[in-house]
Amino acid sequence: MIPYAPERILVQEESWQDSVTLEILERLPGVEVRTVKSREVRFPEPSQGSPAPWEDKNTLFLLRHPGSFLKRCQGSGADTCCNYYVLSCTWNCHLDCSYCVLQSYLGGRALVVGTNFQDLMREVREKLGSSPHRIFRIGTGELADSLALDPATGFSRRLVPFFARLSNGFLELKTKSDCVANLEGLDHGGHTVVSWSVNSKRICRTEEEKAPTLEERLAAALQCQKWGYRLGFHFDPLIYYDGWEDDYREAVGEIFRSINPERVAWLSLGALRFPPHLIGHVKKRFPESKIPYGEFVPGHHGKMRYFRPIREAMYRKMISWIREAAPGLTVYLCMESFAVWEGSFRIQYPGPSFTPDRLDAAIIKG
Ligand code: SF4
């Protein structure tokens, strides 16, 4: 993967006091660096469009995040929730997948890194300390790719050992990248799952053009498995097209030809869903994309999605191929209703296939 190389770095004046800032600048030598006043670094609202210099992915902002780093995953209103938390320390992504919701969600395309890492760690410690008897699964891949910026930020080298010392905290690093070099040799204590968002080769090629190929992602996953990490996989978004069955079946087979399923903590499935206004962005920015021309209906969360029978048929087939290749693997659906769970797994919900506790158990046993 081509590493992220900004043309300019804008540093909020207070961020100069943070070691994160100095480390990032050391890793990105030769880039123009400018100090900016605090009032210039407020994230614009999506409705404001992208005022300069926010409009440009070649801009990297280093700033002190004033709000909360840790939030509950919204689950998009689905009536099944897996009790997941999201931890945001970077925002935006340069991989430019055509369907990426970030292009309409955040007001601006610049990449942003929070430099007040001490505040982040304090917040996590306080939250986990307030409920010492429950397990927290926390992922950093919600508003950015967890590892695509890691060669510049080195955040994994801070986060992984930090979570290793939290008795009730488990970190998920979710990525499409192959930037795993920083993970080598870290004391992860079994508290980090490294997971990949994967897709059929055709979708990787056409809708995730700047991301590594499926083979490259799997090579990185295999490397992490050798370093003792547990892995996760997310077929998300599943995209419906003529010939999807052969392509996705092949992708499932390819994963488990190299990866040991016993070291996989979980695998999730999520059919394509997006806010209605995303379509305009996709048509404008990715004229070759076929995504805007599918048939969608509004879901209970206001997002557009495939008709329920199509989703359930996709899930059922995916589950059967996964069961063939990796019997016993924990599989769950992302942002779906009880009814879709029942139709897809052919179970009465709540059934033996899934509960949030089972996900927690899957990770703890590792
Ligand atoms: S890798 Fe993830 S965060 Fe990055 S552009 Fe693709 S979908 Fe968005």
Span from the CA of 72 to the centroid of ligand 1 (angstroms):
20
**pLDDT bracket for residue 51 (50, 70, 90):** low
- CA-nearest residue, atom 6 of ligand 1: 97
Q: Which atom of ligand 1 is nearest to the CA of 99?
A: 7
pLDDT of residue 354: 57
- CA-nearest residue, atom 7 of ligand 1: 100
Q: 85 in helix, strand or coil? A: strand
Residue 322 has pLDDT above 60, yes or no: yes
Percent of the chain, pLDDT > 90? Answer: 78
State which of 88, 102, 149 you would mutate to test the pocket of ligand 1, scoring each by most atoms of that ligand within 8 A of its C-beta. Answer: 102
Q: In the predicted model, what is the mean pLDDT of residues 80-109?
A: 88
- CA-nearest residue, atom 2 of ligand 1: 145
Residue 350 has pLDDT above 60, yes or no: no
Chain segment 158-200, per-residue pLDDT in tens: 999 999 999 999 999 999 999 999 999 999 999 999 999 999 9
Q: 141 in helix, strand or coil? A: coil
Topology of domain 8-364, per CATH?
pyruvate-formate lyase- activating enzyme (3.80.30)
Chain segment 215-245, per-residue pLDDT in tens: 999 999 999 999 999 999 999 999 999 999 9
Span from the CA of 96 to the centroid of ligand 1 (angstroms):
6
Chain segment 275-284, per-residue pLDDT in tens: 999 999 999 9
**pLDDT bracket for residue 103 (50, 70, 90):** confident
pLDDT of residue 365: 61
State which of 1, 90, 94, 95 you would mutate to test the pocket of ligand 1, scoring each by most atoms of that ligand within 8 A of its C-beta. Answer: 95
Ligand 1 pocket residues where CB is under 6 Å: 93, 95-97, 100, 102, 144-145, 176, 211
Q: In the predicted model, what is the mean pLDDT of residues 201-216?
A: 97
Span from the CA of 100 to the centroid of ligand 1 (angstroms):
6
Q: How far apart are the first and last CA of the chain?
A: 30
* The pair of three-digit structure tokens given for residue 213, joined into one six-digit string: 């190929």
Provide the residue ranges of all domains of the chain, joining segments of one domain with +. Answer: 8-364
Q: Beta 59-63 vs 90-91: how paired, if at all?
A: unpaired
pLDDT of residue 338: 83
**pLDDT bracket for residue 3 (50, 70, 90):** confident
Q: 157 in helix, strand or coil? A: helix
What's the CA gap between 97 and 108, in Å, rounded? 16
- Which of these ranges, 11-25, 43-57, 265-279, has the smallest mean pLDDT? 43-57
Span from the CA of 197 to the centroid of ligand 1 (angstroms):
9
**pLDDT bracket for residue 42 (50, 70, 90):** low
In the DSSP assignment, the letter for residue 43 is P
pLDDT higher for 149 or 299? 149
